Amino acid sequence: MVDSYSLKINGMTKKSIVVLFLVLFSSQLFAQLSASASNKEDMQTFFKTKTYFVLTANKKLNEETMAGLKQYWKHTPYDTISEGNIGDKISNNAYSFLMVIKIEDIMEKRDVQTQRVISKTVDYYHYFGVINGGKKAIEHFVYTDMVAYCPINYLMDEKPMFMCGYRAQSMVYNLHTAIQLVKEKKLEGNSYKLAKQLQEIYNENSSAIKAKTLLVNKEHLKDLTEEDFKAAYTFKVEFCSKEKFEKAYVEKDKNYVIFQPTVTRSKSIWVIDAETYKCLYFGTDLLRLKMDKGDIKDLVKAIAKK
């Protein structure tokens, strides 16, 4: 049993994927949310599928995901499947798959005349997402087969990727919500446009953040001190241990909203209501991975907007 699926993305303008076994194509990879628009065949097909959660080698991630599916997942019937049995179902468009995914992003610089590769760099995205079945083999899948996805905080404290297990219920809830919003509001466009539209929708709720205490995991302050954070954040805030942070997620503590950075190939910052898992804020930065005062000031602006 594996901890994640490894996807490969090749090229600067044409990106392919391969998961342990899966290959996706994309010109835009944006933080969590939805990769498929409401009017796309992939999204319409998804609602007709049975969803299989691909079990990992980690008990916590498996248990919390199943708890989230039981409580929040209404789009499709669901079940579990082992990694070894995916091949039996992946070609059938009657199925979709919820899984931990690692995407390899290969950027190649080529000689204009000969097209010879001059240099190559490799980086990675880390996601928890949903894909549709329906291709002859796993290698034939493209990026837009991902219906929705959440980023994993791999470059901070979710390495190996199954370390995100304590918040798996929250991720299931937000995957479900992203799909529901795309469907109900008939959101259209590429993955970048979808993310921007969902960001606007999420941030309409940001004013609710000030009614509760913002809970910040001290281990997430790798590039920003508590003093710098408090200087920029003008509302109630509490800095806590990793243990208390995780407990707030699992126990759905009604006293807190959770400050959740997710840093992988790009950086996103989320504020999640610990009691409901509702997203109250989404901010992102595709260029800078380090957190700074500007990220906190953007959050404060969103809270104070209404």
Q: What is the pLDDT of residue 142?
A: 61
Please list, residue by residue across 85-120, b when 16 or more beta carbons sit within 10 angstroms of its beta carbon and e when fewer do: ebeeebeebebbbbbbbbbbbeeeeeeeeeeeeeee
d(CA 182, CA 174): 12
- For the entire predicted model, the pTM comes to 0.85
CA distance 64 to 165: 7
pLDDT of residue 266: 87
Q: Determine the pLDDT at residue 141.
A: 61
pLDDT at 2 (0 to 100): 45
> Positive or negative CA dihedral for 37, 143, 91, 148?
negative
Each residue's pLDDT expressed in tens, for the chain with a length of 306 residues:
445 444 443 333 333 333 322 333 332 333 344 444 445 566 788 999 999 999 999 999 999 999 999 999 999 999 999 988 988 898 999 999 999 988 777 788 888 888 888 888 888 889 999 989 988 766 666 666 778 999 999 999 999 999 999 999 999 999 999 999 988 988 888 777 888 899 999 999 999 999 999 999 999 999 999 999 999 999 999 999 999 999 999 999 999 999 999 999 889 999 999 999 999 999 988 778 999 999 999 999 999 986
| Model pLDDT, residue 19 | 32
- 22: part of which helix (H) or strand (E)? strand 22-23
CB 175 within 8 A of CB 150: yes
Query: What is the Rg, in whole angstroms, of the alpha carbon atoms belonging to the chain?
Result: 19
| Domain positions in the chain | 5-189, 204-304
CB 60 within 8 A of CB 166: yes
Instruction: Give pLDDT, residue 41.
Output: 67
Report pLDDT for 306: 61
Is residue 255 within 8 Å of 210, Cβ to Cβ?
A: no
- For 35, phi then psi, to 5°, come to -100, -5
Alpha-carbon distance 266 to 279, whole Å? 19
Contacts of 5 (CB under 8 A, 6+ apart): 19, 20, 21, 22, 54, 83, 99, 100, 101, 102
| Predicted local confidence at residue 43, as pLDDT | 79
User: Token pair for residue 252?
Assistant: 């759905």
Q: Strand pairing partners for 257?
A: 214, 273
Spatial separation of the C-alpha atoms in residues 127 and 36, rounded to whole Å? 15
